[in-house]
Amino acid sequence: MAIRPVLRMGDPRLLEKSSSVKKFRTAALKELITDMRDTMASLNGAGLAAPQIGVNLQVVIFGIEGNVRYPDAEEVPFTILINPTLTPVNKEIEEGWEGCLSVPGMRGLVPRFVNLRYQGFDEKGKAIDRTVSDFHARVVQHECDHLAGILYPMRIRDLRNFGFTAELFPGEDIADD
C-alpha cells in the first residue's frame, strides 16, 4: 500500500483520455486500487480517478460516509468502478458545488445530470449497473470526467462561481483542500 502524490491542474497528464482495463484480477490492478484507496483516504476525498495519480486507466473509486470535506452530503457506498459507461436517465440538470483533489482549496458550481445510470465492472470483473440521482450521480460524473481528461472547472458556466473555498464559504467549516 502507498499514498501517491495527486497531480494538480496544469499537469498535462490530467488532460489525457484513459485506456480501458483489459485484464481483471491482476496484481497490478489490485495494487493500483489499493494505492487509490490509501491516497483518497489520506486526503478525505469523495472520489479519485486513476489519472489523478498518473495512471492512464479507466479506474475510479468513490464513496462518502461521514466525510469531513462534504459534511452535509448524502452517503454514497464505497465503489470501485472500472471501464464505466454513463447514460443520463433524462435531461434534468442541476448545478452544485464541487471540489477536486487536483484543484486544492477551490470550489466551483458545476451543472450535472440529476439522474444517471452507470455501468462498468468492479475489481474482480463483476458487472455493475446502477441508476442513481443527486449527489451520487454528481460524484460519478465528476470522477468519470477525469477519464476523458475533463476537470470540473472546464464545465463551470459562470466563472464568478469559481473560487477559493474559504472566500466562497466564509465561516463555514469546510475542509480547505
23 vs 58 by CB, closer to Ni ion: 58
> Rounded to whole angstroms, how far apart are CA atoms 101 and 104?
5
16, 65, 92, 143: the catalytic one is 143
Site for Ni ion in 75-114 (CB under 5 A): 100
Half-sphere exposure of 75 (CA within 13 A, CB side): 4
User: How many chain residues touch Ni ion (CB under 5 A)?
Assistant: 1
Q: Rounded to the nearest whole angstrom, what is the least distance from the CB of residue 117 to Ni ion in the complex?
A: 21
> Rounded to whole angstroms, how far apart are CA atoms 162 and 137?
21
100 vs 147 by CB, closer to Ni ion: 100
Whether residue 143 lies in the annotated active site: yes
Provide the grid cell at 176: 480547505
* Residue of minimal Cβ distance to Ni ion: 100
Provide the grid cell at 81: 468502478
24 vs 161 by CB, closer to Ni ion: 161
Q: Rounded to the nearest whole angstrom, what is the least distance from the CB of residue 97 to Ni ion in the complex?
A: 13
Q: Rounded to the nearest whole angstrom, what is the least distance from the CB of residue 43 to Ni ion in the complex?
A: 11
124 vs 159 by CB, closer to Ni ion: 159
Bridge-based pairing of strands 47-49 and 93-98 is unpaired
Q: Which residues contact 100 (CB under 8 A, 6 or more apart)?
A: 9, 106, 142, 151, 152
Q: Rounded to the nearest whole angstrom, what is the least distance from the CB of residue 121 to Ni ion in the complex?
A: 21
Half-sphere exposure of 150 (CA within 13 A, CB side): 11
> Rounded to whole angstroms, how far apart are CA atoms 31 and 135?
28
Catalytic residues: 143
Q: List interacting residues with Ni ion (CB under 5 A).
A: 100
